[in-house]
Amino acid sequence: MILRPILALIAALLVGRAALAAPVGTSNDESVPPVVTDTTKPRQCVIAYLVTDVATNDMFVSRQQVEPPKDQAASRGRYPCPTDVPARVATRALEPCLARAGDLKFCVFGDMARGFENRPDVRQTAENTSRCASDLATYIGIACWKAGDRDICNVACGDTEQAARDLARGRCEVKQQKRCTITGATLILPPQ
């Protein structure tokens, strides 16, 4: 007989706990947790440069993001890049190389003039053809030939990694009049 009131008490406690675990009521609040990354938001313009440390043949990709004007509309999920790139943007592109090389004379743009192997100087490279804009291409590519222990390179932009490499190789072989077998390509827009 004592067992029956104890069982009833245990049953009442279990039902009470179940009631606490269940939602107490409904709410009209339909808010959702914050979105960490909005993958549908258009990407801002990125200008990517290929820069070379001629002392070590190290190559750097220098990316700079450009804020779009407030009334600018995106196309293909990307904001357009400016057609005129200020000189200070090009100068800043050399900074990652300078931080490692320690001497600005070793840092040049990746698109080199014919005869660069004899006169390795930034004035023998082209800033405007060493860069690619994210609104026009997806990859920036480079192709080089070996002049002793120095890589002599040219740059091109492409929609695919292979296209960027092939275009860079074609540009290098036409400009340098050599077979350019060293190639590479990377994304202009950094991964999200």
Contact 66, 44 (CB under 8 A): yes
In a domain, 18, yes or no: no
**Which residue in the block uniquely carries the two structure tokens 């960027």?**
164
pLDDT recorded at residue 43: 80
In a domain, 54, yes or no: yes
Q: How far apart are CA 51 and CA 53, in angstroms?
A: 7
For the record, the structure tokens of 141 come out as 């590519």
- Please provide the average confidence, as pLDDT, over all residues in the chain: 83
Find, among 136, 176, 131, 169, the residue nearest to 152 by Cα.
Answer: 176
In a domain, 100, yes or no: yes
In a domain, 1, yes or no: no
Print the domain residue range for 136: 45-187
Domain count, the chain: 1
Residue type, 145: W
Which 8-state DSSP code applies to residue 123?
Answer: G
Q: What is the pLDDT of residues 55-101, one digit of tens each?
A: 999 999 999 998 877 777 777 777 888 888 888 899 999 998 999 88
pLDDT band at 23 (very low <50, low <70, confident <90, very high): very low
In a domain, 154, yes or no: yes
What pTM was computed for the model?
0.75
**Which residue in the block uniquely carries the two structure tokens 């390179």?**
153
In a domain, 28, yes or no: no
For the record, the structure tokens of 49 come out as 């440069």
pLDDT recorded at residue 73: 77
Instruction: Check pLDDT > 70 for residue 4.
Output: no
Residue 93 neighbours by CB under 8 Å, 6+ apart: 49, 51, 62, 64, 109, 127, 130, 131
In a domain, 135, yes or no: yes
How many other CB atoms sit within 10 Å of the CB of residue 62? Answer: 21
Cα-flanking dihedrals φ and ψ of residue 50, to 5°?
-100, 125
In a domain, 24, yes or no: no
* Half-sphere CA count of 176, side-chain side, radius 13 A: 27
Q: What is the pLDDT of residues 37-68, one digit of tens each?
A: 555 677 889 999 999 999 999 999 999 998 87
